[in-house]
A and B are shown apart, each in its own frame.
Chain A
Amino acid sequence: MLLYIVRRLLWAVPILVGISLISFLMIHMAPGGPISVGTDLNPKATAETRARLEAYYGLDQPLYVQYGRWLGRMATLDFGDSFSPDGRSVAEKIRERIPITLTINVLSMGLIFLVAIPIGIYSAVRQGSLFDRVSTVFVFTGFSIPTFWLALLLMILFGVKLGWLPISGIGSLEYHSLGTMGKIADRARHLLLPVLLTGFTGLAGMSRYMRSNMLEVIRQDYVASARAKGLPEGTVVFRHAMRNALLPVITILGLSVPDLLGGSVIFETIFAIPGMGQLFYQGVMSRDYPLIMGILTIGAFLTLLGNLLADVGYALADPRIRPG
């Protein structure tokens, strides 16, 4: 098992290099650049100024030299300095932003698990019932609804009309004067909608997936024989059927990392949450190359990690596929 994990981790290195190369080429070969964002509209910027700025940021070098330098720094986990006027290190900027994004994503993954799996199981066990049909409608709507639109509607309803929930930021103005419990409650009120919305599409997908796995498993011979020997229905469903139907779900959860990260750009923009998605958006708008490269690399790393955890979890849960 350990050997398997080590092999997978080693395999992640060329994939990460491949991803960074593609990102790098795409970012640097696109027309325009960080210098023109700052100087195009500035009449005082002469060609000489531009050349000096380009040299300062190392953008005058050939692409392979620039990429080589970036890769060399990455080998020591140095993401370089941001191009933005504050010139702070990219690692520092990301470190500030990543906790809130991860918090939201982990919470919404938990939500997906807690809600989707019971829905899936119940729909499968009572296939064709009213509950099953209602949840099917919910699933299809969930797949099809633009979640940023749902966010707007919920903001209008709970924020504007009812005034129950705040519609932006992660803390009230008086956050720092609140007690510990007050702080937790305040943060929870701010994160409720973002977490719910981040998990929404996954919720629909996962409950459908769980349902079809359950339907598959329930028809197996060993479930029939469990029933035949007179075990109570609850034991059959939870001990025999559910445990096997859960297996593939682990994989899907690991594979949903890129979608969750992509969603964070949208929701952090809508709800003004200072997380990694918002940072990326700002980086793209100001052509902050080191920042964009840093976030794309970390995003890819998290995705690979999700895949790895999924495979390891699967292998732990199912001895049949444990690699030798």
Chain B
Amino acid sequence: MSAPSLPARVGLSLKASQVAIGLSVAVVAVVAACALLAPAVLGYSNDLNMGAALQPPGAAHWFGTDNLGRDIFTRTLSGARTSLVVGLGVSILTLVAGGLIGLVAGYVRVADTLLMRIMDGLMAIPGVLLAIALASLLGGGLLTVMIAISVPEIPRTARLMRSVVLSLREMPYVDAAISIGSSTPRVLLRHILPNATEALVVQATFVCASAILAEAILSFIGVGISPDLPSWGNVMAGGRQFFRVAPWVIAFPGLFLSLLVIAINVLGDALRERIDPRLSGRRA
């Protein structure tokens, strides 16, 4: 049997993409529902129960328990809230700071060199390493962890925004706005920023996925959010020492985290392709 023709393959490809997007939306919706409802319904399962420590998955504890007897099912569902808050919070911080820096660098020539050299310098330090060092220095609160994760993400967003602004500033409608006497802030906010938002929204999805992963890494290393507030990262970190006897402590939150990040990345790719099919397959 010969392979399908190219148009047929493209048709199959579209169908597969739609299935992937549908599944991804479902995953994000389930996790968002957990994030909204689970802490109110199930609590955070912070009470210690040493008599039930390291119980394997079963009827009493669907996902088993950790070394302090805490229910992993409850902590995994409730941890969705923290992980999602970190993802969304870092996206917002990064878009605001990176977007602003990119906007100014792309439009104001005198600021461009200085700002971009600073961004290049920040990008020259491995992001995970910088985030770990910042989290350790600033302390392990939710906001400080979000700031620590945002700092290495800002340069990439700023670079993307700058490249978009550099092309937008050559557009006739920008020339027209300048010619009728619009001030620089007005040109930036009324004419350039609205046309750059699509690229920023796509970037936000990838930053969100990356931030959820980074929070898990920070917590796993031991400089993330305190275990009193469960996140997928710190629930997994609790299972490090007991991995050989209780792999479920890492496996279940790891599965949820991986599915969510895959779903967000798939949605980001789909969004990017919809906005600009030429960019398909490339990352900022």
Chains A and B come from one and the same complex? no
B-binding residues in A (CB < 8 A):
none
